[in-house]
Amino acid sequence: MPTGEQARLHRSRRARTLLSERPQAEPLLRFYLVLLELQSLVCEGMAVERWGNTVISPEEQAPRLRLEGLPLDELTPRFDAFCRSFTAEIPEPIYRAAQVVAAGQEQVRCDLLAALLKGEDVMPEARDLGCEAAALAFLPRAFLQPIAEAISGRFETVNNSVSGPRCPQCGWPPQVSVLADEPAAEGNRRLVCAFCATAWTFPRSVCPGCLVSGEEGLEIHVAAGELEYVRVESCNTCRRYLKSVDLRVNGLAVPLVDDIATPELDLWVADQGFEKITPHVLGL
Ligand SMILES: [Zn+2]
Ligand SMILES: [Zn+2]
């Protein structure tokens, strides 16, 4: 799987193709394309090697990276520039949050980055700043994601046979599941990390939300027609779901992008009372 700038170009090409094929996803895809553009600027002149050595765990156990150890003093000025780079073409609550964060004290920006890296929510900051929490949380996640991906790409996954429900590299939950024929296994299932985009092998029949399998676990929903390659895997036990992109049915799909480009599936499954294991970076 390509990493870093190459991966962003690959995602960007796929998003442009889907833009013409899936008009119902146009606002999300346009926003995503703006984000990919800004994320490639984040990575310019980045000290990935040095930061990677700071956060790599000395123990050979998951998660391999302790990203909460990233140097916030170096990242905060870059985060400021990132927040300033948005224009009014993105959704209004996020644009407003970006302006408020850019105009605030440096400590505000530092706290937001720290909260995201420690897995804390940003409710206190949202209250203080008068912003929507989801819009505010978008900013540090969108900024740090390419950094996490670049660092993660530098280090091999500890043990590819490890099949936990969390990313072996950074500890985040999965965004999307992928099915593909691989040399070692036909129809192999991998989960793709919602933060650093690492893909790791995970049993096909097990729910990554609660680890239940069998009838109490996953129910697979396959739509007929053009979306046949995007399955919805919902769990009868924890009532959560994620989508699974079947590359054997559509080899052109790019799972993280096709997840964003299929909002009608999220709306349909939410209507059935299921919650996504993790919303994607744009919030669905
Ligand atoms: Zn990860
Ligand atoms: Zn479950």
Query: DSSP string of 176-191?
Result: EEEEEEETTEEEEEEE
Whole-number Å distance between alpha carbons of 284 and 277:
11
Average pLDDT over residues 261-265: 96
Per-chain mean pLDDT for the chain: 93
Query: What percent of the chain stands above pLDDT 70?
Result: 96
Question: Is the distance from CB of 129 to CB of 157 less than 8 angstroms?
Answer: no
pLDDT band at 165 (very low <50, low <70, confident <90, very high): very high
Query: Position of tokens 């990132």?
Result: 82
Integer-rounded Cα Rg, in Å, for the chain is 18
Q: Is there a cis peptide before residue 63, judged by omega within 30 degrees of 0? A: yes
pLDDT number for residue 160 = 56
Query: Position of tokens 């050595």?
Result: 53
Ligand 1 centroid, distance to 130 Cα (angstroms): 30
Average pLDDT over residues 63-79: 95
Joined tokens for residue 152: 């993660």
Question: Is the distance from CB of 39 to CB of 12 less than 8 angstroms?
Answer: no
Ligand 2 centroid, distance to 212 Cα (angstroms): 6
* Strand ranges in the chain using DSSP code E only, listed in sequence order: 174-182, 185-193, 199-201, 218-222, 230-235, 240-246, 275-276
Kindly identify the ligand whose nearest atom is closest to the C-alpha of 242.
2
pLDDT number for residue 200 = 94
Whole-number Å distance between alpha carbons of 178 and 204:
10
Ligand 1 centroid, distance to 4 Cα (angstroms): 13
- Find, among 152, 191, 189, 162, the residue nearest to 175 by Cα: 191
Question: Is the distance from CB of 148 to CB of 46 less than 8 angstroms?
Answer: no
- Find, among 50, 53, 67, the residue nearest to 172 by Cα: 67
Ligand 1 centroid, distance to 20 Cα (angstroms): 30
pLDDT band at 58 (very low <50, low <70, confident <90, very high): confident
231 φ/ψ angles, rounded to the nearest 5 degrees: -90, 150
Element (H, E) at 38: helix 26-42
Tell me the per-residue pLDDT of 182-225, one tens digit each, with 9 for 90 and over. Answer: 998 899 999 999 999 999 999 999 999 999 999 999 999 998 89
Ligand 2 centroid, distance to 81 Cα (angstroms): 40
Helix (H, G, I), strand (E, B) or coil at 142: helix
Ligand 2 centroid, distance to 211 Cα (angstroms): 6
Ligand 2 centroid, distance to 262 Cα (angstroms): 22
Kindly identify the ligand whose nearest atom is closest to the C-alpha of 173.
1
pLDDT band at 16 (very low <50, low <70, confident <90, very high): very high
Whole-number Å distance between alpha carbons of 211 and 205:
9
Average pLDDT over residues 43-54: 88
Average pLDDT over residues 118-134: 94
Kindly identify the ligand whose nearest atom is closest to the C-alpha of 65.
1
Ligand 2 centroid, distance to 51 Cα (angstroms): 35
Question: Is the distance from CB of 169 to CB of 65 less than 8 angstroms?
Answer: yes
How would you classify residue 187: left for phi > 0, otherwise alpha for psi between -120 and 50, otherwise beta? left
Whole-number Å distance between alpha carbons of 53 and 92:
38
Kindly identify the ligand whose nearest atom is closest to the C-alpha of 212.
2
Q: How far is CA 197 from the centre of its chain?
A: 7
Ligand 1 centroid, distance to 228 Cα (angstroms): 27
Question: Is the distance from CB of 106 to CB of 76 less than 8 angstroms?
Answer: yes
Ligand 1 centroid, distance to 152 Cα (angstroms): 7
Tell whether the model's pLDDT for residue 1 goes beyond 60. no
pLDDT number for residue 161 = 56
pLDDT band at 61 (very low <50, low <70, confident <90, very high): confident
